[in-house]
Copies of this chain bind each other. A is one copy, B any other.
Amino acid sequence: MKKKILFGMDIGGTNTVYGLVDENGMLIDHSGFKTNKKPQIDAYVKIIVEELTAMYKKYSADYELVGIGIGAPNGNYFTGSIKLPPNIPWIKDLNLVRELKKYFDVPIVLTNDANAMAYGEMIFGAAKGAKDIIVITLGTGLGSGIIVNGKIVYGYEGIAGELGHVCVVPYGRHCACGKDGCLETYASASGIKRTVFQLIAEHDGKSVFNKITFDRLTSKMISEAALDGDKIAFEAFEYTGNLLGLALANASLITQPEVIVLLGGLAKAGDLIFRPTIKSFEEYLLPLYRNKIKIIASTLKNDSAAIMGAAALVWNEMDRK
Contacts and interface: CB of A to CB of B under 8 A. Distances in A.
Nearest to A292: B157
A212 interface: no
Contacts of A153: 148-149, 254-256
A230 to B, nearest CB: 26
A64 interface: no
B132 A162 contact: no
Given A153-B148, A246-B167, A287-B177, A255 B256 contact: no
Given A132-B155, A177-B287, A284-B167, A160 B255 contact: yes
A309 to B, nearest CB: 19
B256 A157 contact: yes
A271 B164 CA distance: 31
A220 B54 CA distance: 70
Point out which of A151, A250, A251, A287 has the most chain B C-beta atoms below 10 A from its C-beta. A250
Contact of A149 (B151, B161, B165, B283): B151
A133 B249 CA distance: 21
A167 B249 contact: yes
Interface in A126-168: 130-132, 146, 148-149, 151, 153-157, 159-163, 165-167
Interface in A253-296: 253-258, 283-284, 286-289, 292
Interface of A: 83, 130-132, 146, 148-149, 151, 153-157, 159-163, 165-167, 170, 177-179, 246, 249-251, 253-258, 283-284, 286-289, 292
